Structure 1
Amino acid sequence: MKEKELRGLTSAEAEQRKAEGKVNTASTVKTKSIKRIFIDNICTVFNGINVLLFILLMVVGSYKNLLFIGVVLFNTVIGIVQEIRSKKSVDKLTILTESKLNVLRDGEIVELSKDELVLDDIILLSRGNQVPADCILVDGECSANESLLTGESDLIAKKLGDELLSGSFIASGNCKCRVNRVGADSYAAKINNEAKYIKKNDSQILKAFKTIINICSVIIFPVGILMFVIKYFVQQQMFNDTVISTVGALVGMIPGGMILLTSTVLAVSVIRLAKKKVLVNEMYCIETLARVDVICLDKTGTLTAEIMNVHDTIPLDCEKDEIMTALSSIAHVDEVNATAEAVHAYTKDIEPLQCKHFTPFSSETKWSGGEFSNGRTYIMGAAEFVFSDKEKYAKVYQAIDEVKDTVRILVLAKSVNPLTDKTLPDDLIPMALILIKDQLRDNVQETVNYFKEQGVTLKVISGDSVKTVQNIAKDCGIEGAENAVDMSTVTTDEELAEVAERCNVFGRVTPAQKKKLLIALKEKGHKVAMTGDGVNDVLALKEADCSVAMAAGSEAARNVSQLVLVNNDFACMPQVVAEGRRSINNIERSSSLYLVKTMYSILLSLFFLFSHHIYPFEPIQLSLIGALTVGFPSFVLALQPNKNIVRGNFTYNIITRAAPAAICIALNIIVTALLSDPLGLSHAELSTMAVYTTSLIGLMLIVRLCIPFNALRGAMLALSTAGIVIATIFFRDFFKLTALSQSALIMQVITAVVIIVLFNLLYHFADKMIEKHKRESSPKTTT
């Protein structure tokens, strides 16, 4: 049987297995299809309502009132382009990480992709190869790095009959393996399948838009139908006039520009982040990350660079020269691993001794060593395995206890007797303590300090031993690193919920526990971000409010994450958060401009529904007001610098800030309409006065939002004001404006003075309410 296995399958056997479906088909979480992206962005309630209003205006031939549809088109295009761009980027990363495999077929080595493997294929693996499917080692030996699966960075020795899991890497050795599980049956696929669900977006902006659009949808149709019936059938108004005024009322209710503004600002943020090597898979995650108050970090690859350095050596009654020679000799012949590479770099200038016999490191013995040409045996490994008799070697353990640095400690020993198989000599003599540190990523301490200053709690979650993780956390300056827990000792959900809040360092964490930790933190009211790179992180990444993956990590981690750090550098996270804060704070400020129109349109629609007057606005007039008091100013404000911490509820903030202007506009127009008959004002005058009033209040709101002023904001206000003046003087006919009579002009001046005073009083009160709400809803950090 073994001889047949080592010749591999025949072509006929491989074809038979393909026919039976025993193929290693991809089972990772895939990105959206192009078709799905188009459907999701086109088939929305918002688009449906606008298209219906567009058709109604087309029917009556009011073509100049169709400008509003441009907002819908731009918004849809931006959404589609951004999602397709992100999909292509993620798919490209996936392709770049794929490589061909050497497989035995018909006794010859052929190159196949992982998707072409079938059950019982014999694959040849060597250092650096990723295991493509679960398999059994049938020839040779190797050491496997399973950190992407388990989170543990220690290498696992594999011998004949041992299983290699898909997603792990061969760290050293050469072997032949027989595929025993493919596709959905593999270990990695089972974890991935748990992540195959549609994640609910937790964006406050998106929720606010959906709420506003749903409210508008509920109001629009009954109000539109009632207004048309009353105006056309009861009040006998002209059909075209009725359609135009009805559509004008309904268009005003839809905050289409607010959605376009948000899409544009977030798209700009996506472009800016791309220049910083950050790939955004979903635009609204920028907001979520700006709001997080807890970030859960994976140790390996996030805080550390997966490189070790020898920090120091502490002699134990031994000369420094002999210590360096012993280390150089062991590192020269030891199998390639992070520890051996660190020792080799530390002793690169020392001439090694010739080795007669060597025993490599294994997970069972936790040491490596051999006999060298000077007649000595040198051993390097973990103290508890090399010096198992703690009473005999009390001085060694005393020296270890005196080490205060956050380091990994190995011991170096010697003997004049040779090794017997894998049994250490009894007469070992301690030579030195070897202090090894994981190399931190560049700027990681500055990154940690940034989040500390911003009130964001960092929690380190890893499959490594709690002591190792705690040491790294302390070196990085993470607050609360002394609060550490070994998750292998946590057995109940109650215990897990308690340590999730109390502790900031978690060791020996399983993939399922990572997910539970995030759920526990979210249930405590925290906004949680998660960074990771492995299959073991997939469940937690999917559960997080904002998920961040490293590009060098697993395909599954990249595909389920909202952000991908292309350069695998956690140090760029502050820039991502800062970009999010700029975008979200500015969107919140600018969105109130759009919501004013929605709010006063609803109030006015309800009034004019039962009034004999025609609705005062036509769509073209709303386009003028929207462009110069909402659209242009909002885009200028939305792209300004803003590093303030995102606080409060988005919906509450924009409604409260928009309410004063909306109330003043609606109140002024309603009073004007009620007095129009006694004063003998025409509909054209009422409509013109409504445009002037709305423009004035809109400009006043802009003034408030521009504080503190700068040159750009001042220029924007001047241009908006000039634009309105020019439009009302030189393009009066185009915008259906008329000259005001003396009585209308006097009333316009009087109401303008009253409304200015009322607006400022209401806005001052609203500002206080928003600040109070922000203070009460500020995130509380964990300790």
Structure 2
Amino acid sequence: MIEFMDKNKIMGLTQREVKERQAQGLVNDFTASASTSTWQIVKRNVFTLFNALNFVIALALAFVQAWSNLVFFAVICFNAFSGIVTELRAKHMVDKLNLMTKEKVKTIRDGQEVALDPEELVLGDVIRLSAGEQIPSDARVLEGFAEVNEAMLTGESDLVQKEVDALLLSGSFLASGAVLARVHHVGAENYASKLMLEAKTVKPINSRIMKSLDKLAGFTGKIIIPFGLALLLEALMLKGLPLKSSVVNSSTALLGMLPKGIALLTITSLLTAVIKLGLKKVLVQEMYSVETLARVDMLCLDKTGTITQGKMQVEAVLPLTETYGEETIASILTSYIYHSEDKNPTAQAIRQRFVGEVAYPMLSNLPFSSDRKWGAMELEGLGTVFLGAPEMLLDSEVPEAREALERGSRVLVLALSHEKLDHHKPQKPSDIQALALLEILDPIREGAAETLDYLRSQEVGLKIISGDNPVTVSSIAQKAGFADYQSYVDCSKITDEELIAMAEETAIFGRVSPHQKKLIIQTLKKVGHTTAMTGDGVNDILALREADCSIVMAEGDPATRQIANLVLLNSDFNDVPEILFEGRRVVNNIAHIAPIFLIKTIYSFLLAVICIASVLLGRSEWILIFPFIPIQITMIDQFVEGFPPFVLTFERNIKPVEPNFLRRSMLRALPSALMVVFRRSFCENIWSESRLV
């Protein structure tokens, strides 16, 4: 353990102490790297069983100089290249994620103040922070007082009061005040570092279609080598064909079994959807998320900026005393907000409403605190003005305040006292007098009710996850036409175990921490839901990364945009159904067309079985050779299975996606495959024999 010096002697660390800590690795140098390297991505997409089988077939054809039959290998290369590009883009998005700035930090060492880069700090360094600066490392306050904005980390929009011994979280900002603080954590132990490390996990590609094809390729991979050898030996030894013809015929059978065409169709269809959505101001940062969103059956919404516009505005000012009229109250609010350093959304709404001549000079100021739920300011010639939550400033409930809360508004009371403002022990004065109520509303987004109603009609479950008061969220949800607005819980009052038990049945979650948001998503996934999450703040990052599909608004935090699957460039929640339509159209059309591709896989397998079985009949004239060559299979891939079905992918088909993609496709392909087998193995042989007769 490192012993800190007496905090009454704030001289900072000596150079010797700094070097000791550097030698022990107690330095604030940390890079949260993604778990997947570029080489791992390349290896995962190139060195697959599917590619290996195609490569061996290509080598065999090259060995016998059957160059015209190697066209198929271009498709394999394109599939691998597309997979690499898609995963590298996802990795690049995650690698860019950074919650910390690179500004110099005022640090006290050997009694002198020096400016250091954040990564040069060591455990125990004393740093000086003032309003507007970001906290570079977790630290405990030694001297001073400050109001800290932790919204980026916790989602709490109100400022948090920090006094001596309070912990300052890295990544947050000082909104007012100044402090001396001692670095408490460095590097990976910092709060922001842990958050980034958890968020910087490159998720594997989530495509059920590709997983189904991998299963099919895995099955064919197990049988393809013995089948290939059997067909080659049959052609060479029993039919006496030349080596080149034998290799070409056996390679054709193997190529026909591998479903490379449908993989190409899937990639090109998804790329087309990405382009179409881009034209509609939806940025798709991960191609396969289009397919995932099509399968979503549970959408978790962040209230602010999704159901509401995310733009607070003062809806009404209600005077509570005849002594101060509307004009006087407006003058007091104008002076208060002009002098105030508060920058939370509520203060910004008041600042937009009350603009004009400042009648009262400021003598002293106490910023708003989420702990107290109020702020105060001493104005010359008036007294001490308080602005905050009615339940924290008034002894009795104001009926008008309760009514406003039930309407989904945020309510503040403007109050006055003639007592002096005590900055060291802020407390509610005994002579406080309520002057007016302010009703502040975040308007419902236009079209939100219709969007929610439509999503429900499309069998998509809805949940609202918010850091706000659950009663307020419930009222807003009711206004937006949310059916289950009465099903809500205050997550600040329950344990993780209780939250897990309530996750599926409860519709609205209020006072939710970033950890709880992630836990809700995890629980919903465990019970079988395909989840999507909307958000806009850093406090949403963990839940966004956990969700199967993440959607953020362009107006959201840059760090959140960097890791999202989809970014709504218009910041309009009403675009979500259009994304859902596009995803369903692509997936349903691929499912509709897939049997065309699987016909070849099935008949190639059955014909290979028949060719091998014909050897057992004992007569050389009955021995069948595989009836196609590779170039024919490639032409079938391109001109029968390729271009015509690709045109069909543009068909509008927005019904809910059905499960069991591979099973349904195989059953639909089987009858046509059997007809091909019957014609090629029986009808043509009978016709040939009849001609000989």
Task: Please tell me the TM-score bracket, short chain as reference.
Answer: 0.7 to 0.9
In structure 2, the residue matched to 1:540 is 543
What is the 5 A alignment of 1:169-208? 169-193=173-197, 199=203, 201-208=205-212
- In 2, Cα distance between equivalents of 1:156 and 1:680: 94
Cα distance change on mapping 1:197 and 1:362 into 2, 3 Å: closer
Q: Specify which structure has the higher proportion of helix.
A: 1
Q: Which of 131, 136, 141 does residue 140 from structure 2 map onto?
A: 136
Q: Which of 360, 364, 369 does residue 367 from structure 2 map onto?
A: 360
Q: Which of 288, 293, 305 does residue 284 from structure 1 map onto?
A: 288
In structure 2, the residue matched to 1:266 is 270
What is the 5 A alignment of 1:516-535? 516-533=519-536
Q: Which of 496, 499, 502 does residue 499 from structure 2 map onto?
A: 496
More off after superposition, 276-285 vs 151-160: 276-285
- In 2, Cα distance between equivalents of 1:664 and 1:644: 31
Cα distance change on mapping 1:380 and 1:197 into 2, 3 Å: closer
More off after superposition, 227-236 vs 639-648: 639-648
For the residue of structure 2 that corresponds to 1:160, the secondary structure is coil
1:616 and 2:627 matched: yes
Unaligned ranges ≥5, structure 1: 391-395, 682-742, 744-783
More off after superposition, 320-329 vs 572-581: 572-581
More off after superposition, 194-203 vs 152-161: 194-203
Q: Could you tell me which amino acid in structure 1 is paired with residue 645 of structure 2?
A: S
Cα distance change on mapping 1:481 and 1:613 into 2, 3 Å: same
Q: Which of 312, 315, 320 does residue 326 from structure 2 map onto?
A: 320
- In 1, Cα distance between equivalents of 2:555 and 2:123: 28
Cα distance change on mapping 1:485 and 1:627 into 2, 3 Å: same
In structure 2, the residue matched to 1:469 is 473
Q: Could you tell me which amino acid in structure 1 is paired with residue 246 of structure 2?
A: T
In structure 2, the residue matched to 1:588 is 591
Cα distance change on mapping 1:563 and 1:384 into 2, 3 Å: same
Cα distance change on mapping 1:33 and 1:456 into 2, 3 Å: same
Q: Deviations over 1:212-268 (max 9, x none)?
A: 111111221121122222332344333222211100111111111211221222233
- In 2, Cα distance between equivalents of 1:239 and 1:420: 98
Q: Deviations over 1:366-411 (max 9, x none)?
A: 22234434444432221122112x2xxxxx5223234342101111
Q: Could you tell me which amino acid in structure 2 is paired with residue 490 of structure 1?
A: I
- In 1, Cα distance between equivalents of 2:281 and 2:275: 10
In structure 2, the residue matched to 1:381 is 388
Q: Which of 161, 182, 190 does residue 157 from structure 1 map onto?
A: 161
In structure 2, the residue matched to 1:17 is 21
In structure 2, the residue matched to 1:690 is none
Deviation at residue 503 of structure 1 after TM alignment:
1.9
For the residue of structure 2 that corresponds to 1:211, the secondary structure is helix
- The count of corresponding residues between Structure 1 and Structure 2 is 673
In structure 1, the residue matched to 2:464 is 460
For the residue of structure 2 that corresponds to 1:222, the secondary structure is helix
- In 2, Cα distance between equivalents of 1:97 and 1:365: 28
In structure 1, the residue matched to 2:665 is 654
Cα distance change on mapping 1:122 and 1:147 into 2, 3 Å: same
Unaligned ranges ≥5, structure 2: 615-622
Asked whether the equivalents of residues 515 and 540 of structure 1 are also in contact (C-alpha less than 8 Å), the reply is yes
Deviation at residue 84 of structure 1 after TM alignment:
3.1
In structure 2, the residue matched to 1:337 is 343
- In 1, Cα distance between equivalents of 2:164 and 2:666: 68
Q: Deviations over 1:489-518 (max 9, x none)?
A: 43473x434522222110122344333322
Deviation at residue 671 of structure 1 after TM alignment:
2.4
More off after superposition, 576-585 vs 603-612: 576-585
- In 1, Cα distance between equivalents of 2:448 and 2:105: 39
Cα distance change on mapping 1:586 and 1:96 into 2, 3 Å: farther
Q: Could you tell me which amino acid in structure 2 is paired with residue 473 of structure 1?
A: A
- In 1, Cα distance between equivalents of 2:77 and 2:299: 37
- In 2, Cα distance between equivalents of 1:126 and 1:440: 37
Deviation at residue 291 of structure 1 after TM alignment:
1.1
Deviation at residue 97 of structure 1 after TM alignment:
7.3
Deviation at residue 554 of structure 1 after TM alignment:
7.1
Deviation at residue 559 of structure 1 after TM alignment:
6.7
In structure 2, the residue matched to 1:666 is 677
Q: Could you tell me which amino acid in structure 1 is paired with residue 375 of structure 2?
A: S
For the residue of structure 2 that corresponds to 1:480, the secondary structure is coil
Deviation at residue 198 of structure 1 after TM alignment:
6.8
Asked whether the equivalents of residues 537 and 557 of structure 2 are also in contact (C-alpha less than 8 Å), the reply is yes
Aligned-residue RMSD, C-alpha: 3.3
More off after superposition, 266-275 vs 255-264: 266-275
Give aligned-pair identity as a percent: 39
Deviation at residue 292 of structure 1 after TM alignment:
0.5
For the residue of structure 2 that corresponds to 1:104, the secondary structure is strand
In structure 1, the residue matched to 2:222 is 218
Q: Could you tell me which amino acid in structure 2 is paired with residue 361 of structure 1?
A: F
- In 2, Cα distance between equivalents of 1:372 and 1:105: 36
Asked whether the equivalents of residues 29 and 195 of structure 1 are also in contact (C-alpha less than 8 Å), the reply is no
Deviation at residue 62 of structure 1 after TM alignment:
1.1
Deviation at residue 185 of structure 1 after TM alignment:
1.4
More off after superposition, 294-303 vs 256-265: 294-303
Asked whether the equivalents of residues 153 and 464 of structure 1 are also in contact (C-alpha less than 8 Å), the reply is no
In structure 2, the residue matched to 1:629 is 640
What is the 5 A alignment of 1:116-131? 116-131=120-135
More off after superposition, 357-366 vs 290-299: 357-366
Q: Could you tell me which amino acid in structure 1 is paired with residue 315 of structure 2?
A: H
In structure 1, the residue matched to 2:407 is 405
For the residue of structure 1 that corresponds to 2:369, the secondary structure is coil
Deviation at residue 669 of structure 1 after TM alignment:
1.8
Deviation at residue 273 of structure 1 after TM alignment:
4.3
- In 2, Cα distance between equivalents of 1:484 and 1:42: 48
Cα distance change on mapping 1:357 and 1:79 into 2, 3 Å: closer
In structure 1, the residue matched to 2:213 is 209
Q: Deviations over 1:102-153 (max 9, x none)?
A: 33365344352x4444323444544554433212233443222323433333
